[in-house]
């Protein structure tokens, strides 16, 4: 990893795991000065604005606590990053939550599944296939604060989102090594092509087909940060629906708020695995617009004929009006 020139680190907040080598990255805020940043340079969410977002607190066998995000994809299932749940013994989930002190629901589970190509023994090392599923110990009920998000379909799994406006959310640090907020934050990001992202990270093998990268949208410091791992990256899809196209996985060790993009995992690559683990088919096919029946078209044409005849009656009325002054 050191030979890449630009290092990458996981973006979970950890009470037990630190950076592997703190000397390998700098903190640009020391020279730029601090700002009133959010997720990084984002905004506080309104109550119910992002109802698919979950807050996770994972506990390790030695009592270490890690904070991450996740998204609701089913009344019994959530989607997150594998490095969030790897080697953990229990997961505390807050749902329907914007302010961490006031969740609509809070419960615990010990059942999670990480992708088989993800190596849990290398949890502190950034890897591809950083994706996991969490099974709730209950069926959650949807309301205005708790709703699922639609996942990217397999048809669009390799779609180039370069230049698209995306949105990330979470309770991650508001600056590199900064504080974590109680209120969920969100930020707009701009999609990057995998080719450009790979180049920006020195040709790193971490950037694979199932990776999606995103850079700042309109402020150079916008990004995800420590504690946002596992959270959703979404887009307004072609049909107008919010669709999750990424799972927060990593940022550059040069800092959360630098010009280098953040990295996410594309869920569209993993529908076969989702089906194998859950028994649920989360894949979907875009629906073509339904053409209007012929009978309705005929009725519409008849209506147009009536409409075009109306102005003749109006002209007669105008003639009567213009004749009145002569009397």
Q: What is the mean pLDDT of each run of 10 residues along the chain (327 residues)?
A: 42 40 24 35 82 96 92 98 95 96 96 97 92 97 98 98 95 58 88 95 92 81 67 96 95 72 95 98 87 55 43 39 38
Q: Give the integer Cα–Cα distance in Å for 153 and 211.
A: 15
CB 148 within 8 A of CB 73: yes
pLDDT value of position 124:
86
**CA 206 to each of CA 126, 198, 224, 227: distance values in angstroms, whole numbers, following the listed order:** 7, 8, 18, 20
Q: Give the integer Cα–Cα distance in Å for 172 and 96.
A: 17
Q: Which two tokens stand for residue 205?
A: 């093998």
Residue 81 within any structural domain of the chain = yes
Angle at 80 between CA 75 and CA 46, to 5 degrees: 70
Residue 313 within any structural domain of the chain = no
pLDDT value of position 196:
94
pLDDT value of position 144:
97
Residue 237 within any structural domain of the chain = yes
Question: Into how many domains does the chain fold?
Answer: 1
Q: Is 120 exposed, middle or buried (0-12, 13-18, 19+ CB in 10 A)?
A: middle
pLDDT value of position 280:
98
This prediction has a pTM of 0.76
Residue 315 within any structural domain of the chain = no
Q: Give the closest residue to 233 by CA, choosing from 117, 130, 149, 127.
A: 149
Q: Please give the backbone phi and psi of residue 121, each rounded to the nearest 5 degrees, phi first.
A: -70, -15
CB 22 within 8 A of CB 7: no
What is the domain extent for residue 193? 2-278
Residue 55 within any structural domain of the chain = yes
Q: Give the closest residue to 249 by CA, choosing from 290, 206, 217, 292.
A: 206
Q: Where are the beta strands (DSSP E) in the chain?
A: 8-10, 13-14, 43-44, 53-60, 65-74, 77-80, 88-95, 105-109, 111-114, 132-135, 150-151, 165-170, 185-192, 211-216, 232-236, 242-252, 262-265
Residue 309 within any structural domain of the chain = no
Residue 289 within any structural domain of the chain = no
CATH number for the domain that contains residue 154: 2.40.10.120
Residue 112 within any structural domain of the chain = yes
Compute the half-sphere exposure of residue 122: CA atoms within 13 Å on the CB side of its CA. Answer: 10
Q: Please give the backbone phi and psi of residue 134, each rounded to the nearest 5 degrees, phi first.
A: -115, 130
């Amino acid at each position: 990893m050191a030979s890449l020139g630009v290092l990458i680190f996981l973006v979970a907040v950890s009470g037990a795991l630190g950076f592997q080598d703190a000397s390998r990255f700098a903190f640009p805020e020391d020279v730029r000065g601090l700002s009133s940043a959010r997720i990084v340079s984002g905004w506080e969410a309104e109550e119910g604005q992002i109802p698919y977002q979950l807050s996770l607190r994972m506990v390790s066998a030695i009592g270490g606590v890690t904070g991450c995000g996740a998204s609701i994809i089913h009344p019994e299932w959530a989607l997150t990053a594998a490095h969030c749940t790897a080697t953990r013994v229990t997961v505390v989930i807050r749902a329907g939550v914007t302010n961490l002190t006031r969740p609509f629901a809070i419960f615990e589970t010990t059942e999670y599944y990480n992708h088989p190509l993800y190596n849990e023994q290398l949890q502190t090392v950034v890897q591809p296939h950083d994706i996991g599923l969490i099974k709730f110990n209950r069926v959650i009920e949807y309301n205005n604060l708790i709703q699922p998000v639609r996942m990217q379909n397999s048809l669009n799994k390799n779609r180039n989102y370069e230049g698209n406006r995306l949105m990330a959310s979470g309770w991650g640090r508001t600056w590199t090594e900064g504080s974590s907020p109680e209120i969920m934050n969100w930020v707009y990001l701009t999609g990057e092509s995998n080719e450009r992202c790979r180049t920006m990270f020195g040709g790193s093998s971490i950037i694979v087909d199932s990776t999606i990268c995103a850079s700042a949208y309109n402020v150079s410091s916008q990004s995800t940060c420590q504690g946002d791992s596992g959270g959703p990256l979404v887009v307004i899809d072609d049909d107008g629906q919010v669709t999750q196209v990424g799972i927060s996985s990593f940022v550059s060790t040069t800092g959360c708020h630098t010009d280098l993009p953040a990295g996410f995992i594309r869920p569209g690559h993993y529908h076969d695995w989702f089906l194998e683990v859950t028994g649920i088919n989360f894949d979907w096919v875009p629906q073509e617009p339904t053409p209007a029946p012929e009978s309705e078209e005929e009725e519409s044409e008849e209506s147009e004929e009536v409409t075009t005849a109306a102005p003749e009656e109006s002209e007669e009325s105008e003639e009567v009006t213009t004749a009145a002054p002569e009397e």
